[in-house]
Chains A and B, each alone.
Chain A
Amino acid sequence: MTRRLINRRPDRAGLVAWGAVPFLIAIIAYFIFSTLRLAENPNDKLLPGLATLGRSLYSLGFAQDARTGQILLWADTLSSLRRLGMGLAAATGIGLGFGIATGVIPYVRAGLSPFIAVVSMIPPMAVLPILFIVFGLDELSKVVLITIGITPFLIRDLALKVGELPNELLIKAQTLGASTWQIILRVVLPQIAPRLLDGIRLSLGPAWLFLISAEAIAATDGLGYRIFLMRRYLAMDVILPYVAWITFLAFVMDWVLRRISRRYFPWQNAESQ
């Protein structure tokens, strides 16, 4: 009995195995090509071997930097995450406030949505020079870039979600005596909170993009700064672990947000319980 391809599904173990295959292929391919290149030229820097990678990983992640006395990877991670965190926090706050206000209050919507629609089309990287001029070259301009980069999306996403709330629920709340403020607090906010988390998850990619770009252009530490600094020395043994580390951080943040969404908004998937 052969079933159609669309009806055959991997079991639990199969899911893990199939999911691991592309990762294994990528890793194996890397080391095959690395070995080939190193056999030809032992000083090749493009695809460093396991030993070189291990050595630089140790010096980055565990040994103190001779010049600053800091452990580079951790110092860079801390600076970058602080910028990213502040940018995301500011964007979330502004996005939530304006998103709900434009979604719920017709006068705010009439006043703001054309403006937001236009502002969201400004490429954030194009205003980076302005930010550097206005806010200086240190932390603030980087945080502002991340904020500017993702806030319009969050506002529009949340305003859309508020608009999708069934009108019946807003009417019902009014028949229970709710004021505008109470409706926002008890009806709208809890129902768009999961969408907010989803919005932040989707914004993580752009947020990292803006962070690394800003760090590449003007910074003295940070993950993006380090990568672009090491590019001058073709130090792939530093760049590759950094890229892997950034990917890992982004993945963990995404995963944590997804867990929070499931844990604190059980009503979303209530049917399946």
Chain B
Amino acid sequence: MSRVSVRNLWMEYPGQVVLERINLEIESGEFCVLLGPSGCGKTTFLRLLLSMEQPTRGRILLDGEVLPGEPGPDRGVVFQRYSAFPHLTVTQNVILGLEFAGSRLLGKLFGAARRRAVAEAERVIEAVGLSAARDKYPAQLSGGMQQRLAIAQTLIRKPKLLLLDEPFGALDPGTKLQMYELITRLWREEQITVFMVTHDLKEGFTLATRVLTFDKIRIDPQEPGAYGATITFNLPLQRRRAGAADIVAV
């Protein structure tokens, strides 16, 4: 279960309201895409979901509980850049989450425990199609492969929420299509709730079961910072429960 409720959320910086009056109920297993122009607060909203920042007012509940004040293993994230650790190979990157959980003191597993972790990682690496590159460093991978790695790394901790911050923004169109297929498959298999920020409309409507658009509805020309953005549309989509073939057709 991973139900997200947002209650009257406001986010203000000194002299500037970024988000105002955000109210949301997201059912477990939805694929929410956050759309909107640049600087409209969709990334800020994602940062709030991740607890990188604290809301000024209001609260966010995950399964009825207020979010903890800092990032944790219940919410996985894939950024547009710097997603994987450059000093670790693909396998080492993926087992890292298991090592943090299994070894409080060293954060590193040895012997049989490590072999079990590697075996579990292998399954996830296979799922994202990186088996052939398992001993490579991130810098040796293409952009799409790096994002696959970041997703695999995140999934191994089985987070309740998967937060994606323009994860495919830097990829070429062909690679994007492969990534849509991959993320759709993993989302379906893992029964995970996804929030994805993008400014690619087509991408949003291809992937989402719910599209949330952020925009400012009130603008004070004398004081642009006086009003923040809010959710202007909350569109549930009848997503076709079909495979990659349709995505490629889009």
Contacts of B72 in A (CB 8 A): 174-175, 177
B69 to chain A, nearest CB (A): 11
Determine whether B233 belongs to the interface, using a CB cutoff of 8 Å to chain A: no
On chain A, the number of residues with a Cβ less than 8 Å from chain B's Cβ atoms is 25
**Interchain residue pairs with CB less than 8 A apart (5):** A172-B82, A175-B73, A177-B157, A182-B104, A191-B87
Instruction: Name the segment of A44-52, A98-106, A163-171, A216-224 touching the other chain.
Output: A163-171
Interface residues of A (CB under 8 A from B): 166, 168-169, 171-179, 181-182, 185-187, 190-191, 265-267, 270-271, 273
Determine whether B83 belongs to the interface, using a CB cutoff of 8 Å to chain A: yes
B130 to chain A, nearest CB (A): 16
A196 to chain B, nearest CB (A): 13
Contact B96 A176 (CB under 8 A): yes
B141 to chain A, nearest CB (A): 9
A166 and B85 CA atoms in complex are apart in Å by: 10
Given contacts A168-B83, A175-B76, A177-B101, contact A186 B108 (CB under 8 A): yes
Contacts of B108 in A (CB 8 A): 185-186
Closest A residue to B150 by beta carbon equals A172
Contacts of B150 in A (CB 8 A): 172
Q: A186-B99, A186-B100 are in contact. List 13 more A-B contacts (CB 8 A).
A: A168-B81, A172-B150, A172-B153, A173-B96, A174-B70, A175-B72, A175-B75, A175-B77, A176-B73, A177-B157, A185-B107, A186-B107, A187-B85
A187 and B99 CA atoms in complex are apart in Å by: 12
A273 to chain B, nearest CB (A): 6
0 or 1 for each of B151-163: is its CB under 8 Å from A? (1 = yes): 0011001010000
Determine whether B234 belongs to the interface, using a CB cutoff of 8 Å to chain A: no
Determine whether B187 belongs to the interface, using a CB cutoff of 8 Å to chain A: no
Contact of B52 among A171, A187, A266 (CB under 8 A): A171
